[in-house]
A and B are shown apart, each in its own frame.
Chain A
Amino acid sequence: MKKLGIMLMSFVLVFSLAACGGSAPAENAGGETTDSGGQKQVTLNMWLFTGTGLEPLVDQYMKENPHVKVNIQAQEYADHHNGLVTALAAGSGAPDISMVEIGYLDRFKAEENNFHNLANFGANDIMGNYLDWKVVQASSQDGSFIFGLPTDVGPMAMMYRTDIFEQAGLPTDPAALQEKIKTWEDFITVGKTVKEATGKPMVDSILSVFDVVKGQKNEHYFDSKGELIAGTNPEMKKAYDFAVRVAQEGLSANIAQWTPEWGAGMNNGDFAVMLSPAWMMGFMKGNAPDSAGKWNVIQMPEGSGNWGGSFLTLPKQGKNAEEAYKLISWLLSPEMQLENFKTNGNFPSTPSIYDSEEIQTFSDPFFSDAPVGKIYAEAAQKVVPVYYGPSYVIANTPITNALGEVQNNNADPEAMWKDAITQIERELRR
């Protein structure tokens, strides 16, 4: 009897362990049931990464549409995207709605059949609401396939330390300073003045300069046919050479982004400017509290730039695409994006609301009461569309490594550039 009991127990153990793998997706799968009222009850699964600020808006949607229930799963940025890749590769487990950030979008774009074409749900009627360059990002090369609806954008502006500029005898008034920094050449001139007068470098790292200068060009490492042009595109080499010059003139503080030293550097004024997207404002306030009121804002020289921004996509594995589309088109409408801007600071991708009271008058004492809302709205409309290509990260990493070597170890920039191009070719063939 005792033996039988143990045998039974081991059976139970084996099957419960085996069931572990199977039960989770079953719970996650979206279901449709009909409630007593006759309206179809729908459960939508939605994957976000943390910090999108969309959750309260989704709650509002559920209140207004009682037949819809949304399960939100928010994960850390990289885990979220890797989870989506895994689910798509495995063929099951992907949600009805998934957020995709621009850094990962082109990778997914290369695999159209994993996503619903939002044009089939009438997305073409509303794409006019969004910034042109953002629509280009969201669509296939020929524009026939729409992968996702745009969420926020990350237009770039230049934050500068008024205390350091004053010390260097430079104008601290934004209008006057804007006159002085119209081109990247001016940027270096001003940087040298700052360096000579105060001993402080202009920027945190040459990598942030490289990103902005590069971001102002239409073509980066790949042409629109997907061919590698990193080694032959003169614009790319120019951006690289400019970043090298910033290092060689001693205008970089050599502080890597996202390190504890970076926040400390911002706080203590170790560098005179921050090239920062709209969403960086929150980060600066959180990590550099002592620098409150010492920052002011002007436009970037020679255009703007964009850092980040996302899209809401509908993976084909989802079961309720129609309802999911209704949710995302509501969630990313100009009105709701304005709500999200007010509560979470995410900068809207819908230019129609840029003239609204809330954005035009948005300012912050942390940034000397500069009209940051207005400045970023203007910057957002100056961003140029860029073709990234599915292997963008593979091409970009060796170049940033090369710049890191130039900045930190005085490596020969020409040799580093050549090595980086070879390394890109090596990694792309795999």
Chain B
Amino acid sequence: MEPRMDAGTKKTRKLRNSQSFKDHVSGYLYIAPFFILFGIFTLFPILWSAQISFYSWNILGNKEFIGFQNFIWLLTDDPRFWKAVGNTFTLWIISTIPQLFFALVLATVLNQSMLKGKALFRTAALIPNVTSLVAVAVIFGSIFGTHYGILNWLLSQLGFDKFNWLASYWGAQFAVALMVTWRWLGYNAIIYLAALQSIPSDIYEAARIDGASRVQQFFNITIPMMRPIILFTVIVSTVGGMQLFVEPMIFAGDQGGSKGQVLTMVLYLYTTAFTNNQFGYASAIAWLMFLIIVAFSVFNFYLTRKINSAD
């Protein structure tokens, strides 16, 4: 019902007392807590960071307006930023692809009817996801240690030289990607498992009657039926991958290694803001990062539509 502004006071009062008006008010009150918090803690900082990205500001001193200079430097003369962008994408690729592939394999195994102790395995699959990140990074740091790491011990048992994982480019990337994969593998597997279980069994039955092999069933029934869920996990992993921060920071320090082996976009943003105290430049990084993620999401969306309409 539309409130009528030209009505008299008597009518307004009547309107205010009316049930539907009260419903409106209580409706807004219900959603108010979210929007108030969103406004204070999300919307305001976003807009404010847009403003300070045009300044040179060390947080304690005066802000100095420098126009687009921060963005010009970022785009034309900051190899570390582009290294961070590159690292974020390579780390995303080498962690997400194996992660989703093995999650699907794991889900299929967990879905087998002959498997005993399903609940136990399903819980175990989710444990890495709820383990404290700092603990994970410390353990992985010990695994990949040069002198006393388990991995190097194994290598030396097999007759290979000790390898400085952290110092080499691909070594460090591999270690961080493995950390991410280990952490999210079970989470994605549980989601896939739920999807697997929602596929009606009569479809498989029909396929079996028609003489389809297990592999044929997997590629012609399971994968197509799970397409929306796979897309969901791709999107979630993309969001997570673009924001990769804690693992490289704890594994390689806030510089992401001495040549920035695992320096990611967020890690670069963090050091610029909180180690160097250059908040204007850090805000500019944040906005450029935002644009990169938007571009990537548009590409993702396009790909999603394409896959969804494949058949």
- Identify the A interface with B (CB < 8 A): 3, 6-7, 10-11, 13-14, 17-18, 21, 82, 85, 88-89, 107-108, 110-111, 114, 253-256, 259-261, 264-265, 270, 390-391, 393-394, 397, 400-405, 408-409, 423, 426-427, 429-430
Known: A89-B59, A261-B145. A14 touches B36 (CB 8 A): yes
Min CB–CB distance B285 → chain A (angstroms): 10
- Identify the B interface with A (CB < 8 A): 22, 25-26, 29-30, 32-33, 36-37, 40, 56, 58-61, 70, 73, 77-78, 80, 138, 141-142, 145-149, 164, 166-168, 255, 258-260, 272, 274-278, 280-281
Contact of A409 (CB < 8 Å), options: B29, B255, B259 = B259
Of all A-B residue pairs in the complex, the 4 with the closest CB atoms, nearest first, are A404-B258, A408-B167, A430-B281, A111-B60
Min CB–CB distance A13 → chain B (angstroms): 6
Query: Are B148 and A264 in contact, with the CB atoms below 8 A?
Result: yes
Known: A18-B36, A111-B61, A426-B78. A255 touches B29 (CB 8 A): no
A-chain residues with CB within 8 Å of residue B37 when the two chains form the complex? 17
A-chain residues with CB within 8 Å of residue B40 when the two chains form the complex? 21
Within the assembled complex, what's the spacing in Å between the Cα atoms of A106 and B154? 47
Nearest B residue to A391, CB-CB: B276
Query: Are B277 and A85 in contact, with the CB atoms below 8 A?
Result: yes
Contact of B145 (CB < 8 Å), options: A13, A88, A260 = A260
Nearest A residue to B253, CB-CB: A256
Query: Are B147 and A17 in contact, with the CB atoms below 8 A?
Result: no
Query: Are B164 and A254 in contact, with the CB atoms below 8 A?
Result: yes
Query: Are A254 and B146 in contact, with the CB atoms below 8 A?
Result: yes
B-chain residues with CB within 8 Å of residue A265 when the two chains form the complex? 147
B-chain residues with CB within 8 Å of residue A17 when the two chains form the complex? 33, 36-37
Nearest B residue to A207, CB-CB: B258
Within the assembled complex, what's the spacing in Å between the Cα atoms of A397 and B256? 12
Min CB–CB distance A426 → chain B (angstroms): 7
A-chain residues with CB within 8 Å of residue B280 when the two chains form the complex? 430
A-chain residues with CB within 8 Å of residue B149 when the two chains form the complex? 261
Query: Are A397 and B36 in contact, with the CB atoms below 8 A?
Result: no
Min CB–CB distance B51 → chain A (angstroms): 15
B-chain residues with CB within 8 Å of residue A107 when the two chains form the complex? 60, 277
Min CB–CB distance A399 → chain B (angstroms): 11
Within the assembled complex, what's the spacing in Å between the Cα atoms of A362 and B133? 42
Known: A3-B22, A7-B29, A408-B164. A88 touches B60 (CB 8 A): yes
Nearest B residue to A11, CB-CB: B29
Query: Are A393 and B258 in contact, with the CB atoms below 8 A?
Result: no
Min CB–CB distance B141 → chain A (angstroms): 7
Within the assembled complex, what's the spacing in Å between the Cα atoms of A86 and B278? 13
Within the assembled complex, what's the spacing in Å between the Cα atoms of A403 and B281? 26
Within the assembled complex, what's the spacing in Å between the Cα atoms of A328 and B275? 28
Task: Please name 14 pairs of A and B residues whose Cβ atoms are closer than 8 Å in the assembled complex, sorted by A.
Answer: A6-B26, A85-B60, A85-B277, A88-B60, A260-B138, A260-B141, A260-B142, A270-B147, A397-B255, A400-B258, A401-B258, A409-B259, A426-B78, A430-B280
Within the assembled complex, what's the spacing in Å between the Cα atoms of A82 and B274? 7
Min CB–CB distance A104 → chain B (angstroms): 10
Query: Are B26 and A89 in contact, with the CB atoms below 8 A?
Result: no
Query: Are A261 and B78 in contact, with the CB atoms below 8 A?
Result: no
Known: A14-B29, A17-B37. A260 touches B277 (CB 8 A): no
Query: Are A10 and B32 in contact, with the CB atoms below 8 A?
Result: yes
Query: Are A259 and B145 in contact, with the CB atoms below 8 A?
Result: yes
Nearest B residue to A401, CB-CB: B258
Min CB–CB distance A415 → chain B (angstroms): 12
16 other contacts beyond A259-B145, A261-B149, A404-B259, with CB at 8 A cut-off?
A: A3-B26, A10-B26, A11-B29, A13-B33, A17-B33, A88-B60, A254-B164, A256-B166, A260-B145, A264-B147, A401-B259, A402-B258, A427-B278, A430-B70, A430-B276, A430-B278
Min CB–CB distance A258 → chain B (angstroms): 9
Within the assembled complex, what's the spacing in Å between the Cα atoms of A237 and B164? 27
Contact of B147 (CB < 8 Å), options: A10, A82, A261 = A261
A-chain residues with CB within 8 Å of residue B166 when the two chains form the complex? 256, 408
Contact of A427 (CB < 8 Å), options: B29, B36, B276 = B276
Within the assembled complex, what's the spacing in Å between the Cα atoms of A403 and B258? 8
Min CB–CB distance B169 → chain A (angstroms): 9
A-chain residues with CB within 8 Å of residue B56 when the two chains form the complex? 430
Within the assembled complex, what's the spacing in Å between the Cα atoms of A184 and B59? 41
Within the assembled complex, what's the spacing in Å between the Cα atoms of A423 and B142? 31
A-chain residues with CB within 8 Å of residue B260 when the two chains form the complex? 401
Min CB–CB distance A105 → chain B (angstroms): 13
Min CB–CB distance A255 → chain B (angstroms): 7
Query: Are A259 and B141 in contact, with the CB atoms below 8 A?
Result: yes
Known: A107-B277, A254-B164, A394-B276. A114 touches B258 (CB 8 A): no
Contact of A14 (CB < 8 Å), options: B32, B78, B146, B276 = B32
Min CB–CB distance A376 → chain B (angstroms): 29
B-chain residues with CB within 8 Å of residue A254 when the two chains form the complex? 146, 164
Within the assembled complex, what's the spacing in Å between the Cα atoms of A254 and B59? 36
Query: Are B70 and A10 in contact, with the CB atoms below 8 A?
Result: no
Within the assembled complex, what's the spacing in Å between the Cα atoms of A253 and B82? 32
Within the assembled complex, what's the spacing in Å between the Cα atoms of A307 and B96? 43
Min CB–CB distance A206 → chain B (angstroms): 12
B-chain residues with CB within 8 Å of residue A423 when the two chains form the complex? 80
A-chain residues with CB within 8 Å of residue B167 when the two chains form the complex? 404, 408-409
